[in-house]
Structure 1
Amino acid sequence: MAVVEAGTVSRAADILRISQPAASKLIQDLEADTGLQLFERDSGRLVPTGRGMRLYEEVERIFGGVHQLARAVEAIRREEHGQLVIGTMPALSGPFITRVLKLFRARHPDVFVSVEARSSQFLTEAVLLRRLDVVMVISGLEHPSVVGEALKSPPAVAILPKGHRLCEKKELTPPDFADEPFIAFGPTSMMRRKVDAIFDAYGLRPKIVIEATTAPNVAEFVAAGLGVTIGDPLSMEIVTDRVVIRRFVPEIAFEYEIVRPVRARNSSLVADFVAAAHAAALGTTIAP
């Protein structure tokens, strides 16, 4: 394998950490043992014959199996310490999930954790199939094989660019946003529907200049000074140090949900992860 892949006996010898004469002797011994001419000499180089390449392919397959075995051993070692496969919607996949994992790994430093950031629909289907141990999604899933509990996010807040005129106020209401360029979530999002309902109750409509489907985009647009928005703190933490946060009234409650199988594997690890998620939600870094 070394000679075929390296191209020369000298380079193969370097890979194997042996001398070139020793490598040449090994090739000669292999040809004698197999009774096959594995290489042809061409201008001082060894060129694999057709038989040589067939043997190389078989050896490569065997080495592939050995590597697969090594991966299996590593997976078994991980299982001894435990492993957790979690899913989170993109809105929570930034600073929030990082804080959750810091809390979780403080208790379980040896546990292997895998994180998937996907849509709520994908995650709920994956947890039903028991491909994921626990997921954090925007809406609950009613099914006898899973259990869900609310991950309480602090109330929605007004998020302003630094230096904005509304920063002078400690508390903001829908009339304060009249004629202000507004960065809105996509029309089908839960936050957009909640914000629209509050403004409708005041007989107002926000002056939407940009719509975005993801919380990180909305947050970044506000931080860049393109407008103001109203959002839930957990999904806005990506811009904590680059925006100004003010209390918004009337209060808009916003809840995510943690969903897990009724009989979850690694149930104790799942329970500790859920506890870490609740603690992280209470300690959000973005607050009035």
Structure 2
Amino acid sequence: MARQLNLRQVEAFKAVIEHGTVSRAAEVMNVSQPAISKLIAHLEQDTSLRLFERVKGRLAPTPYGMRLYAEVDRIFAGLRQVENAVETIRRDEQGRLLIGVMPALSGSFIERSTAAFLARQPGVFCSVQSRSSQWITEGLVTRKLDVGLVIAPIDNPYIVAEPMMGHPEVFIAPLDHPLAAKSVIRPEDLIGQPFISFDPDSHTSQRTTATLSAHGVVPNTTMVVNVSPTLCEFVAGGAGVSLVHPLVVGGLRDRLAIRRFEPTIQLDFYLCRIRDSRNARLVDAFMEATREVAAGISRSMPAMD
């Protein structure tokens, strides 16, 4: 009677496929090469399938082997999802909160929000990761994050996103730039000006480009950056002009000319969480603290007359 498959056989099979040789598979599994060979031989015997061809002393997977590997890989991916779920449950029990924040908010804003949260929830372990909005969205869906702060709207039924700190984009330029003499900047003013843009795939860049295009203006993009602090530094250094959310200017206000831009290009940041968060108590507390900090910042933003 054929023996039942065991997990060790499957792990050895998977390791040989993924690492290419028996020696490397043995190293990864911390066993001897003969042990790996024996596990593979038993797997082939128990399945009555020829999973590998022996070619010049190496194991080359057969079509049967690759078909089996596809199923094994799918099953192990499911196990990784279970591991993520276990970590989520453990995180809730241990008082852990994983926060994803886009670079534009990764300075004083996230520090103030987290400090306000910890003042109410002392002893909670917080992990803050500054990543792209897309990465944060994926992190929420896969439960690698508990809460996220992004700028792009999220169209996902599993994520709840609420806007905060909405504000029209402002024009920024070096202090000595000729356009600094104007109180309001319009699309036609940007014609021929060296323009520093965010990544073309970013939400901010797409909103800005669409508005300028609607007014017949194609910006003279001379530089593309992917994070707000870098963009603002380049503008302050005289590399060009740009349009940004006023919050991202941060500590560079004394080095930049900041002017109202018309027509209005409204930008919102978004505070996000997974809809059925298992860490609900801590997520609720963090979101409440973040809302309060955001409201205070919105009230303090200078008006663009």
TM-score (norm 1): 0.64
Shift of 1:202: 2.0
The residue that corresponds to 1:237 in the other structure is 250
- Long gaps (5+) in structure 1: 1-75
1:147-158 matches, within 5 Å, as: 147-158=160-171
Q: In structure 2, how many angstroms separate the alpha carbons of the residues matched to 1:219 and 1:213? A: 11
1:108-147 matches, within 5 Å, as: 108-147=121-160
Q: In structure 2, how many angstroms separate the alpha carbons of the residues matched to 1:102 and 1:171? A: 37
The residue that corresponds to 2:232 in the other structure is 219
Q: In structure 1, how many angstroms separate the alpha carbons of the residues matched to 2:292 and 2:168? A: 16
Amino acid at match of 2:188: P
1:1-288 matches, within 5 Å, as: 82-237=95-250, 239-282=252-295, 283=297, 287=302, 288=304
Q: Is the 8 A contact 1:136 1:256 kept in 2?
A: yes
SS at match of 1:192: helix
Shift of 1:142: 4.1
Amino acid at match of 2:96: Q
SS at match of 2:168: coil
Q: Is the 8 A contact 1:161 1:242 kept in 2?
A: yes
Structure 1 pair 126–222 and aligned structure 2 pair: CA distance change class (3 A) = same
Aligned pair count?
A: 211
Q: In structure 2, how many angstroms separate the alpha carbons of the residues matched to 1:146 and 1:201? A: 32
Q: In structure 2, how many angstroms separate the alpha carbons of the residues matched to 1:99 and 1:239? A: 19
- Long gaps (5+) in structure 2: 1-89
Q: Is the 8 A contact 1:138 1:255 kept in 2?
A: yes
Shift of 1:106: 4.0
The residue that corresponds to 1:67 in the other structure is none
SS at match of 2:218: coil
Amino acid at match of 2:228: A
Q: Is the 8 A contact 1:182 1:227 kept in 2?
A: yes
Structure 1 pair 158–141 and aligned structure 2 pair: CA distance change class (3 A) = closer
TM-score (norm 2): 0.61
Shift of 1:268: 3.2
Shift of 1:140: 4.0
Q: Which protein shows a greater Rg?
A: 1
